[in-house]
Structure 1
Amino acid sequence: MAMIKVHGHPFSTATALVLCCLEEKQLQYELVLVDLSSGAQKKPQYLALNPFGVVPTIQDGDLTLFESRAIIKYLAKKYQAQGTDLLGNTLSEQALVDQWCEVEAQSFFPPAWNILVQTAKVPMQGGITDEAIVKKDMEKLEKLLDIYEERLSKCKYLAGDFFSLADLQHLPCAEYLVKSGGKGDLFFSRKHVNAWWEDISSRPTWKKAAEKLP
């Protein structure tokens, strides 16, 4: 089996997501550093791989693929029989995985990312946090995580009693939220959400993938 190349950066949450998936699937890979500080992701050599100029991008044999969620779904399908099965065994289980992956992408990630941008990125760039945006998106997450609490009172993970892509997709943004001042209570204040978070964030695969996240 040829080694999978991952063009990315250890500070990138999307790169960490892909690396975690590779670790779960017990696949060999090479991390090819894309120097974001020098703008390497916007230079012709990288744009030939990914015309959007963002990380990560993988090369698996003749296939070049970008967009982290598409990458991890591809890896989970192609190498389903190896490592952790992240898709489910039955059609019903697979449908539930897809459903909760969509919830993460459409309902969890947007407000979570907005909060992180406003509370971390904007101040780092010398700007002032827009507290109205933070308040609005915190309210969205509060309502969403109430739904998660109900769901997780009935099963260990979002798609059922097995760890899947649906849980994996939450790791990068949730990691930052938990470590942000006052935001961790979103998880800690909900019994079942907290148990779920403690479980998925303590997986050795995630700890290895996220060890260089700032």
Structure 2
Amino acid sequence: MVMKVHGSLLSGPVKRVLVALYEKELEFEFVPVDMRAGEHKKEHFLALNPFGQVPAFEDGDLQLFESRAITQYIAHVYKDKGAPLVCEGKPMATVSVWMEVEAHQFDPVASKLQWELVLKSMFGMTTDAAVVEENEAKLAKVLDIYEARLSQSKYLGCDCFTLADLHHLPTLNNLMGTPVKKLFDARPKVSAWVTDIMARPSLAKVLAMRNQ
């Protein structure tokens, strides 16, 4: 059976899963969920994700939700396909640390900036300059730590592209079109890392899905 990803192409977590599937060169079916119509809160969807959030994922009789858990499943179960995305032995511990950093240090701040600078305008809402200023300062501190880390290895987890890097891609893609880009550009190692990972063909394929 072909894997299924249920969600919206406007969702960062959905894109995160799709990038992982393309990295692994796996076949899948994308099942659109009409979030404007509240389809993600309907009973049939809640059977897949009881929290009523996208994505939901199916691989045969296995059902999963939470994008980072799904990408880990894809990377470990299909480790012999496509790009590795995970490491063996001790290096995986470091990859896991930076996956946690993305989830708990980078994403909360970056997502607030994404909401203010990208998503609000899509919904006809006004950007809160004070929130932007506050979170730019917080993101700058996180990126200082990234700059130090990327002075030690090419990618966050190790010297090869892993889930620790991949998990950043959807939010990075949105922020690079905003004034926040200056925070990344001001840090040479971070800037080179962003340029590198955003050039992944997997991301281009996911972005192209919106135009199909």
Q: TM-score when scaled to structure 1? A: 0.93
Partner of 1:162: 160
Are 1:12 and 1:213, in contact at CA under 8 Å, matched by a contact in 2?
no
Structure 1 position 129, deviation (Å): 2.4
Give the match for residue 112 of structure 1: 110
CA deviations over 1:17-43 (Å, ceiling 9, x no partner): 101000111111000111122211111
> What is the distance in 1 between the residues matched to 2:72 and 2:61?
17
Structure-1 residue corresponding to 2:132: 134
CA distance in 2 between partners of 1:212 and 1:27 (Å):
15
Distance 1:213 1:140, change over 3 A: farther
Q: Distance in 2 between matches of 1:163 and 1:71?
A: 18
Query: How far apart are the structure 1 equivalents of 2:112 and 2:209?
Result: 22
Alignment of 1:72-151 (within 5 A): 72-89=71-88, 91-151=89-149
- Cα deviation, residue 212, structure 1: 4.6
Q: CA deviation at 1:128?
A: 3.1
Deviations 1:127-167 (A, max 9, x none): 43222221111111101111111111221100111100000
1:129 and 1:9 mapped to 2: Cα distance? 23
TM-score (norm 2): 0.94
Q: Which amino acid aligns with 1:186?
A: L
Query: Mean alpha-carbon deviation: is it higher for 112-121 or for 163-172?
Result: 112-121
Change (3 A) 1:213 1:167: farther
Contact between 1:11 and 1:212, CA under 8 Å: does it hold in 2? no
How far apart, CA to CA, are the structure 2 residues paired with 1:125 and 1:80? 40
Flag as ranges the 4+ runs of structure 1 deviating above 4 A: none
Partner of 1:191: 188
- The residue number in structure 2 matching 1:201 is 198
Which secondary structure does the structure 1 equivalent of 2:176 belong to? helix
Q: Is the 8 A contact 1:13 1:213 kept in 2?
A: no
Which amino acid in the other structure matches residue 138 of structure 1? E
Rounded to whole Å, the distance in 2 between the matches of 1:66 and 1:209 is 19
Gaps of 5+ in 2: none
Unaligned runs of 5+ in 1: none
Q: Sequence identity of aligned pairs in percent?
A: 45
Partners of 2:200 and 2:120 in 1: CA distance:
31
* Distance (whole Å) between structure 1 residues aligned to residue 191 and residue 157 of structure 2: 17
Q: 5 Å matches for 1:29-48?
A: 29-48=28-47
